[in-house]
Amino acid sequence: MKLMKIMPAALLLCLSLGVYAQDEDLSEDAVAEDETAEVVVPSTPTDKKTFHRVQLGYTGTIVKYTNFGNSPDYNNYFLNGIGVGWMGDLRIAKKIDLFLELGANFTYHMGNSKDKRWNVHHDEYYQYKVNAFTVSIPVNINKQFKNAFGVKDLTLAPFVGLNFRFNVMAKRKATAHQLDGTIPMSIGNEKKVYTASLMKVDRGPEDFGESTPYMTAFDKKLHVGKLLQPGAQIGVNAYYNHYYLGVSYMYDLVPFSKHKSSPELTTRETPEGGLLPNIGTNCNEKVTTSHNFALTVGYVF
């Protein structure tokens, strides 16, 4: 009788222990799942499918002018550019960590001519200064290498792509100086300064001899820069946690401006019986901004 009373109690106890053990196993599985979930959480922003960054950058641009192969120093420049931008990355191949990179950069450029240009009509020389504002749209493909050089959370991403630069504004300012180089030439009480747009015909006053209808037409044909300059680029991005450093080289595929004609200067008769040079003859001009170097730093979200 006692045995019959003990058996149900023992059975109930075993069932209770079994349920408890099953609950404990489920709890351990849940913990394991939680731990697994924690492992796949991105340790850096670059582990995500999409991420983006804001950046500050420096761009150096070599500007070179040639005419029939000659390149006088007074028309060559090195432009320093300071800019801000935004870039976004989208993973397009998970197994090999391949990303598509798109964005926009806004850059202000400035620089001075390397040499001084003498004015053949007066005992003076000009010093030139260029200012420009550009908007660039880069489109790149990059490959990520995680834990580069054995450093945890360091990601290197070499890239290659295209860069579409829009020349929103470009101006050149010429200041005339006397022979000693210290006293600016003056017209009345004003310094003799000439500013011209490189994106449109914007001539100075008549006393510079550059505002005649002939010169205006000449500039329309030869000296107006392109609004859009596509280019190729290559570089590498480095990410450490939320911080970013990038180095790149960009090569313009088209010149800023270009014109080619016969090497002989031809003329035409004017109604007054004189001769006027034909526009564009004796000219093989090219202005290039082909070589661009950029260094950027930023924060990744």
- State residue 86's pLDDT score: 97
Cα 8 to Cα 2: distance, rounded to the nearest angstrom: 11
User: What rounded mean pLDDT belongs to the chain?
Assistant: 77
Q: Are 185 and 177 in contact (CB under 8 A)?
A: yes
- State residue 192's pLDDT score: 66
Residue 30 lies in a domain: no
- State residue 108's pLDDT score: 98
Q: Are 153 and 241 in contact (CB under 8 A)?
A: yes
Cα 62 to Cα 78: distance, rounded to the nearest angstrom: 5
- State residue 117's pLDDT score: 64
Residue 64 lies in a domain: yes
Residues 6+ apart with CB under 8 A from 126: 74, 116, 117, 118, 119, 174, 175, 176, 177, 194
Q: Is the four-CA dihedral 175, 176, 177, 179 of positive or negative sign?
A: positive
Rg of the chain over CA atoms, in angstroms?
34
- State residue 196's pLDDT score: 78
Residue 168 has pLDDT above 80, yes or no: yes
Q: Are 57 and 104 in contact (CB under 8 A)?
A: no
Alpha helices in the chain (DSSP H): 2-40, 213-222
Judged by average pLDDT, the poorest of 32-46, 85-99, 128-142, 159-173 is 32-46
Confidence grade of residue 8 (pLDDT, cut at 50, 70, 90): very low
User: What are the backbone angles phi and psi of residue 139, rounded to the nearest 5°?
Assistant: -130, 110
Q: Residue 205 is which amino acid?
A: P
Judged by average pLDDT, the poorest of 204-213, 219-228, 272-281 is 204-213
Residue 233 lies in a domain: yes
Confidence grade of residue 160 (pLDDT, cut at 50, 70, 90): very high
Residue 38 lies in a domain: no
Cα 36 to Cα 22: distance, rounded to the nearest angstrom: 21
Q: What is the CATH number of the domain that holds 202?
A: 2.40.160
What single DSSP character describes residue 70?
A: B
What number is the average pLDDT over the span 195-220? 55
Question: Which domain covers residue 115, as residue numbers?
Answer: 48-300
Residues 6+ apart with CB under 8 A from 33: none
Judged by average pLDDT, the poorest of 20-34, 107-121, 241-255, 281-295 is 20-34
Say how many domains are in the chain: 1
Predicted TM-score (pTM) of this structure: 0.73
Residue 18 lies in a domain: no
Q: Residue 46 is which amino acid?
A: T
Residue 97 lies in a domain: yes
Residue 42 lies in a domain: no
CA trace torsion 189, 193, 197, 200 (10° rounding): 70
Residue 107 lies in a domain: yes
What single DSSP character describes residue 194?
A: E
Residue 265 has pLDDT above 50, yes or no: yes
Nearest to 114 by CA among 71, 169, 81, 67: 71
